[in-house]
């Protein structure tokens, strides 16, 4: 695999990442105006921005401004190391990082390609940031296509580079949809900018505080070994991918309450019960807004859910790797075919 090509990159640095000033990004976002906010978490706020200047000709970007309290100055080295990695990760199913801003005490931000169709969370559940997709978008085939695209992006992160890049926060709000409704994984790297990827022993105290505050919001998607022991491997992302696929096909959030006969269930349990009851069981839990036109549609949805369940296995060793997941999904998409 082209290792020489990677090393060539390293020596060159990354000329393609532009450094923006605080002033340029303030100008682009109307002084970080609340009306331009397209997403926020306790880690960051994302603004829609328009770059001024002749070179850019009004290029629309997403400016992701990191919350400085969550990114203390001791994470500066992580931030810069991570930027170097991000600038070299290039794949059609990853959101492209255009540049960054970094002025001590004032701003840390990433500048990304703006995705016109918002994120997958909004597309599944309806969100303010983007118009809901036409129902025809949400066929079994279209949803499978999203799964395939996300899997492609994760396979690249896990194996396309000198070392595996673990995303750590795969969830629908971190999957963006471009003008062709092609899914692109975003926000890889933010976890690592906090130093989350350091081995637990090396940095236990700093790490547990950083991660516990940073990842409060993603519990439904978080692999048990990551949530409790902070062990990070690519299998963390496989787990989250499984949950995301279940959410995409059932229309139910893993963080919501689900009850069957008065008994509270996790999304995994709901799907597991459904799959064990066969196609009728599966049909009953699918997103009611998804057109299931044919028997082939239904059995494909059942196959996706079965793969998703294997991804969300409790033990990391019982989960497939993303390469195996991708090849299963690609086989299914050949069967569904085009209209």
User: pLDDT tens digit string along 297-339?
Assistant: 999 999 999 999 999 999 999 999 999 999 999 999 987 655 4
pLDDT tens string 34-61:
999 988 877 788 999 999 876 667 899 9
Q: Regarding predicted confidence, which is higher, 219 or 211?
A: 219
Euclidean distance between CA atoms 246 and 306, whole angstroms: 9
Query: Cα 26 from chain centroid?
Result: 26
Task: Report whether pLDDT(235) > 70.
Answer: yes
What are the b/e assignments for 110-132, b being 16+ CB within 10 Å?
bbbbbbebbbbbbbbeebebbee
pLDDT band at 194; cut points 50, 70, 90: low
Q: Indicate the burial class of 37 (C-beta count within 10 angstroms; 0-12, 13-18, 19 or more).
A: middle
Task: Report whether pLDDT(68) > 60.
Answer: yes
Query: DSSP H helical segments within the chain, as ranges?
Result: 3-12, 22-28, 76-88, 120-125, 140-159, 190-193, 204-214, 224-229, 234-250, 267-276, 278-285, 295-311, 322-336
93, 153 Cβ separation under 8 angstroms? yes
Q: Regarding predicted confidence, which is higher, 256 or 142?
A: 142
**What is residue 332's predicted lDDT score, i.e. its pLDDT?**
95
**What is residue 216's predicted lDDT score, i.e. its pLDDT?**
42
**What is residue 193's predicted lDDT score, i.e. its pLDDT?**
60
What region does 73 belong to: left with phi over 0, alpha with psi -120 to 50, or beta?
alpha
Task: Report whether pLDDT(284) > 60.
Answer: yes
**What is residue 142's predicted lDDT score, i.e. its pLDDT?**
92
Euclidean distance between CA atoms 70 and 211, whole angstroms: 10
pLDDT band at 9; cut points 50, 70, 90: very low
Mean of pLDDT values over 266-291: 95
Mean of pLDDT values over 245-260: 91
Q: Regarding predicted confidence, which is higher, 3 or 333?
A: 333
**What is residue 17's predicted lDDT score, i.e. its pLDDT?**
83
Mean of pLDDT values over 239-249: 97
3-class SS letters over 268-304: HHHHHHHHHCHHHHHHHHCCCCCCCCCHHHHHHHHHH
Mean of pLDDT values over 153-165: 88
282, 297 Cβ separation under 8 angstroms? no
Euclidean distance between CA atoms 299 and 302, whole angstroms: 5
Q: Could you tell me which of 11, 24, 23 has the C-alpha nearest to residue 55? A: 24
**What is residue 1's predicted lDDT score, i.e. its pLDDT?**
45
Q: Is 111 helix (H, G, I), strand (E, B) or coil?
A: strand
> End-to-end alpha-carbon separation of the chain, Å?
37
Token representation of residue 48: 């829609």
CA-only gyration radius of the chain, Å? 20
Half-sphere exposure of 10 (CA within 13 A, CB side): 8
Token representation of residue 222: 């978080």
**What is residue 218's predicted lDDT score, i.e. its pLDDT?**
61
Mean of pLDDT values over 132-150: 83
Q: Share the mean pLDDT of the chain.
A: 82
Euclidean distance between CA atoms 118 and 126, whole angstroms: 10
Handedness of CA 301, 306, 311, 312 (dihedral sign): positive
**What is residue 130's predicted lDDT score, i.e. its pLDDT?**
52
pLDDT band at 213; cut points 50, 70, 90: very low
pLDDT band at 101; cut points 50, 70, 90: very high
- Beta strands 183-185 and 44-50: pairing type? unpaired
């Amino acid at each position: 695999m082209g290792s020489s090509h990677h090393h060539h990159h390293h020596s060159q640095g990354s000329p393609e990442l532009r450094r923006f000033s605080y002033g340029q990004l303030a100008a682009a976002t109307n002084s970080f105006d609340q009306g331009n906010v397209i997403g926020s978490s306790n880690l960051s706020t994302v603004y829609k921005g328009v770059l001024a200047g002749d070179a850019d000709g009004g290029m629309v970007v997403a400016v992701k401004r990191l919350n400085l309290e969550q990114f203390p100055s001791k994470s500066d080295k992580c931030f810069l190391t991570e930027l170097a990695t991000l600038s070299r990760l290039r794949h059609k199913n990853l959101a492209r990082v255009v540049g960054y801003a970094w002025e001590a005490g004032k701003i840390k931000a990433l500048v990304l390609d703006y995705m016109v169709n918002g994120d997958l969370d909004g597309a599944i559940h309806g969100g303010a940031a983007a118009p809901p997709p036409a129902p025809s978008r949400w066929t079994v085939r279209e949803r499978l296509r999203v799964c395939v695209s996300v899997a492609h992006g994760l396979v690249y992160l896990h194996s396309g580079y000198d070392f595996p890049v673990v995303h750590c926060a795969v969830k629908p709000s971190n999957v963006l949809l471009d003008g062709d409704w092609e899914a692109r994984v975003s926000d890889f790297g933010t976890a690592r900018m906090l130093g989350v990827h350091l081995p637990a022993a090396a940095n236990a105290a700093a790490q547990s505080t950083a991660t516990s505050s940073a990842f409060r919001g993603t519990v439904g998607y978080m692999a048990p070994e990551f949530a409790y022991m902070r062990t990070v491997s690519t299998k963390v992302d496989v787990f989250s991918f499984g949950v995301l696929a279940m959410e995409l096909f059932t229309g139910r959030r893993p963080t919501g309450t689900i009850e069957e006969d008065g008994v509270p269930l996790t999304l995994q349990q709901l799907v597991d019960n459904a799959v064990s009851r066969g196609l009728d069981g599966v049909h009953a839990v699918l997103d009611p807004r998804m057109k299931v036109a044919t028997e082939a549609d239904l059995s494909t949805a059942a196959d996706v859910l079965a793969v998703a369940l294997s991804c969300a296995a409790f033990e990391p060793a019982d989960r497939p790797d993303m390469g195996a997941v991708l090849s299963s999904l690609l086989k299914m998409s050949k069967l569904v075919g085009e209209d």
